[in-house]
Amino acid sequence: MIQLSKNYSLPERQEEPIPIKVVGVGSAGSNALDRVLLDGMDKNDLIALNTDVQALASSVAARKVQLGRTSTRGLGTGGDPELGYQAAIESADEIRQAIAGARMIFICAGLGGGTGSGAAPIVAQLAREAGSLVIAFATLPFSFEGKRRAAQAQDALSRLNEVANAVICFENDRMGDMVAPKAGIHQAFGVADMTISQSVRSIVNLIQRPGLIRIGFDDLFAALRSQNGRCLFGFGESDSDNRAHDALTQALKNPLMDKGRMLGEAAHVLVQVAGGPGMTLSEVEILMRELGRHVRDHTQIVFGTAVDGKMGNRLSVTIISSLASEDSVGQEAPSVQEPFLAPPPAILEEVEELPRPAPKIDIEPEVVPESAAAGDLIPFEQPEPVAPEAPPPAAPPPIPSIKKPAPRLIPPKKKAVIEKEQPKAPKEKCVQAKQEVMQFEPVTRGRFEKSEPTIVEGQDLDVPTFMRKNIRVK
């Protein structure tokens, strides 16, 4: 067996911990935060935003922002996104302060209600203006919650799609399917929170871990490209003897994966395999071969691998992909009618086309006066090559800027990130790797040669047991 030598090293990539913040908007969002904290995220990275003071008080986040002090006066929004929107605009200043300093912002929100639907897009937009990368995790309501909520959720989703760099969307209905029918309703909701938490953690890891084959933002976006689509996400980790297999099985068991069946329809699949120094090439090979059974031949697999001392004996697999919704296969604009924020072109494909659009006109007066917040931005804009040009405009007219400086600030930043992180190699490499794997199987199945193989737990059971277990008979 070939083994990755531990001495072999690429020019050591210093592990820059990327400053991140996880923002929970609305009560669904703060539930997700609770779970994220439980799963071991630093408390200081969590920010809860809510209109409802009571709910806010019970949140675990270190930083809490009450939205709409005057417009909702500490009560909820009563399911009115318009009110949530107003509240967020009113508190834009505080939000900006709270999210300052983070390079990546994860927004967790339950769409369909008032605060989540109304405020999340604003938060995303503010974060983009502050120069952060924004990945939104949105849950869509259960279908039994009514058509109205579903429509509000769709509306909010399309707005989020416009402003955020990527939106990962969880359908509660699907989560419900995965929970045993007898389980309590809190469990059904809990599954969504858990999945969100896993996604946040694994995306952070994905991007932070020094990779042998690195996965960058661009790869991530490629995998998530189909708009309004369904996100497929799976994460598995194992330290057993058969850890490659176990981790993959676990990843495919994820509610969003449908046991890997959905993968067959995806055009891009992003896979990251991370493990300790003991991870062997053959393990990765086995894993990719198994995964190969679930995807079609022409699916592009973006493959990344990382060795992380902290992983110890464990091996983790992260699979991210998305399915286009029936109609919109391309990456083009949301199929939904233009939302009231504005109709900017789809962001995911090219960063240049940031939302230059104006939100409703009535916002502008309220938002203009903040300059303190803009000041906050500058420090961490600086590392970026293009930043110098940015600050001057950014400071004084920060807010009318909601549109203008933003495009200028972010694109450079993002590009820089991309260039830095994308060694270009991964794609070619992955193609090769996959082909090699395919050639590997000299199986003998005797009389079952021509029948449909019975593959259970990754093993072809038609091959005699003694052969698979390498036991010599005779």
Partner 1 sequence: MASGDLIVGLEIGTSKICVVVGETRPDGTLKILGVGQAPSRGVRKGEIVDFETAMKCVHEAVVDAEQKSDVMIRSVYVAVAGGHIQGFNNRGCVMLSDDRDEIDDQDVEDVKVNAREVSIPAQNAFLHSIIQHYHVDGQDGVLNPIGMLGQKLEADFHIIHGVRTRIQNTIRCVKELPLEVEDVVFSALASAQVVLTQHQKNLGALVVDIGGGTTDYILYVDGAVKQSGGLAIGGDHITNDISMGLRIPMARAEKLKTEEGSCVLGNCLPGETIVLKDDSGFAGKEIERETLNTIVHLRLRETFELLKRTVEEEPFINYVGAGIFITGGCSLLNGIDHLAGEVFEMPAHVTHAQTLAGLTSAVENPQFSTAIGLLKYAQAVQIDRPRRGIGRLFGRFFSGMR
User: Could you give the C-alpha distances from 235 to 73, 87, 194, 316, in angstroms and in order?
Assistant: 41, 36, 11, 7
Work out which of 429, 454, 460, 470 binds partner 1, going by CB under 8 A: 454
Q: Which is nearer to partner 1, 383 or 464 (by Cβ)?
A: 464
| Shorter beta-carbon distance to partner 1: residue 10 or 467 | 467
Distance in angstroms (rounded) separating the CA atoms of residues 422 and 418: 6
Q: Tell whether residue 465 is a contact of partner 1 (CB under 8 A).
A: yes
Of 120 and 257, nearer to partner 1 (C-beta) is 257
Q: Closest by alpha carbon to 386, among 412, 406, 351, 362?
A: 412
Asked if residue 460 binds partner 1 (CB under 8 A), the reply is: no
* Binding segment (CB under 8 A) for partner 1, from list 29-37, 97-105, 219-227, 465-473: 465-473
Work out how close the CB of 143 gets to partner 1 at its nearest, in angstroms, rounded to a whole number: 12
Question: In this chain, which of 448, 458, 460, 470 binds partner 1, going by CB under 8 A?
Answer: 448
Stretch that binds partner 1, among 91-99, 146-154, 174-182, 381-389 (CB under 8 A): 174-182
Which span (100-108, 114-122, 327-335, 443-451) binds partner 1, by CB under 8 A?
A: 443-451
CA distance 49 to 126: 13
Based on CB atoms, which residue is closest to partner 1, 353 or 462? Answer: 462
User: Which of the stretches 124-132, 176-184, 199-207, 380-388 binds partner 1 when contact is defined by CB under 8 A?
Assistant: 176-184
For partner 1, which stretch binds (CB under 8 A), given 307-315, 316-324, 326-334, 459-467? Answer: 459-467
Total binding residues for partner 1 by CB under 8 A?
24
Looking at the Cβ atoms of 285 and 448, the one nearer to partner 1 is 448
Least CB distance to partner 1 at residue 149 (A): 21
Q: Is 431 in the site for partner 1 (CB under 8 A)?
A: no
Instruction: Check binding of 441 to partner 1 (CB under 8 A).
Output: no
What does the H/E/C string look like for the chain?
CCCCCCCCCCCCCCCCCCCEEEEEEHHHHHHHHHHHHHCCCCHHHEEEEECCHHHHHCCCCCEEEECCCCCCCCCCCCCCHHHHHHHHHHCHHHHHHHHCCCCEEEEEEECCCCHHHHHHHHHHHHHHHCCCEEEEEEEECCHHHCHHHHHHHHHHHHHHHHHCCEEEEEEHHHHHHHCCCCCCHHHHHHHHHHHHHHHHHHHHHHHHCCEEECCCHHHHHHHCCCCCCEEEEEEEEECCCCHHHHHHHHHHHCCCCHHHHHHHHCCEEEEEEEECCCCCHHHHHHHHHHHHCCCCCCCEEEEEEEECHHHCCCEEEEEEEEECCCCCCCCCCCCCCCCCCCCCCCCCCCCCCCCCCCCCCCHHHHHCCCCHHHHHHHHHHCCCCCHHHCHHHHCCCCCHHHCCHHHHHHHHHHHHHHHHHCCCHHHHHHHHHHHHHHCCCCCCCHHHCCCCCCEECCEECCCCHHHHCCCCCC
Among 6, 298, 310, 469, binds partner 1 (CB under 8 A): 469
> Of these, 1, 2, 361, 456, which contacts partner 1 (CB under 8 A)?
456
Footprint on residues 255-314 left by partner 1 (CB under 8 A): 261
Looking at residues 178 to 207 of the shown chain, list those that interact with partner 1 (rule: CB under 8 A).
Answer: 181-182
Range in contact with partner 1 (rule: CB under 8 A) among 4-12, 269-277, 318-326, 445-453? 445-453
- Give the per-residue contact string, 372-401, with partner 1 (x = CB under 8 A; - = no): ------------------------------
Site for partner 1 in 204-263 (CB under 8 A): 261
Distance in Å, CB of 248 to partner 1, minimum: 16
Least separation, in Å, of the C-beta of 295 and partner 1?
Answer: 18
Q: Hey, what are 186's tokens?
A: 């809190």
Q: Shortest Cβ distance from residue 136 to partner 1 (Å)?
A: 27
Summarize as ranges the residues that interact with partner 1 (CB under 8 A): 177, 181-182, 261, 444-448, 451-452, 454, 456-457, 461-462, 464-467, 469, 471, 473-474
